[in-house]
């Protein structure tokens, strides 16, 4: 049976899919495996292989949520954060095996599984789907989009992002920061229209 949803007395005692007393940045987020190749799908090891299974003895501490497919775990470690799905009927106390669907994201799923195995042995293995520069740009994108939605001008947004040293009214029309600001806002709108899902995919390198 699915576990009950968090109950918040201050909100009238109704059930919510997430705890409304907790800020959004502290809420565990669970993705479906169809969207996120980083989700680790686990089942119990088949009897044929169970005797020789070299498995993670204990799954890492995690927040959890149940649904009709099984139990979803979101690890609490910031350095090695990942989502694990124990498919329906899986006993985490028994040897475990991973499932890797042979779909268009198979290679990405294998990379995620390799990261999970290495981190389970005590190593710090960060998720490399986003580089530090991409994270910085995403932060600028969100700030620019928030400002635009609140009615700020492109000039004011650029001034807030890059500072008065670089944003001068007399040079604004030909400023490279003007075009950067326009692109940030454009890409921000694309993100909220569903483009954010692309952040879950691995960067592809040409062979």
pTM over 0.85: no
DSSP 45-113: PPHHHHTT----SSPPPEEEEEETTEEEEEE--STT--EEEEETT--TTS-EEEE---STTHHHHHHHH
Q: Pick the last residue of a domain from 66, 99, 120.
A: 120
Residues 116 and 137 in one domain: no
The CB-side HSE value for 83 (13 A sphere, CA atoms) comes to 20
**Residue 14: pLDDT band with limits 50, 70, 90:** very low
CB atoms within 10 A of CB 105: 21
Instruction: Evaluate if residue 77 carries a pLDDT over 90.
Output: no
Residues 43 and 88 in one domain: yes
Residues 110 and 140 in one domain: no
Instruction: Evaluate if residue 43 carries a pLDDT over 50.
Output: yes
Residue 125 lies in a domain: no
């Amino acid at each position: 049976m699915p576990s009950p949803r968090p109950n918040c007395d201050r909100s009238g005692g109704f059930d919510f899919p997430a705890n409304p007393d907790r800020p959004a940045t502290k809420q565990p987020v669970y993705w479906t495996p169809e969207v996120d190749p980083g989700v680790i799908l686990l089942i119990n090891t088949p009897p044929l292989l169970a005797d020789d299974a070299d498995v993670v003895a204990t799954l890492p501490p995690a927040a959890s949520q149940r649904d009709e497919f099984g139990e979803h775990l979101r690890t609490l470690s910031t350095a090695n954060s990942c989502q694990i799905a124990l498919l329906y009927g899986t006993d985490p106390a028994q040897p475990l095996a991973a499932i890797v669907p042979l779909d268009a994201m198979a290679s990405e799923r294998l990379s995620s599984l390799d990261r999970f195995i290495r981190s389970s042995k005590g190593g710090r293995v960060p998720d490399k789907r986003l580089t530090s520069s991409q994270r910085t740009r995403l932060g600028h994108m969100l700030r620019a989009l928030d400002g635009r939605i609140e009615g700020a001008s492109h000039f004011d947004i650029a001034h807030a992002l890059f500072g008065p040293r670089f944003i001068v009214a007399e040079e604004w029309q030909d400023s490279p920061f003007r075009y950067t600001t326009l692109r940030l806002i454009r890409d921000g709108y694309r993100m909220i229209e569903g483009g954010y899902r692309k952040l879950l995919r691995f960067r592809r390198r040409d062979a």
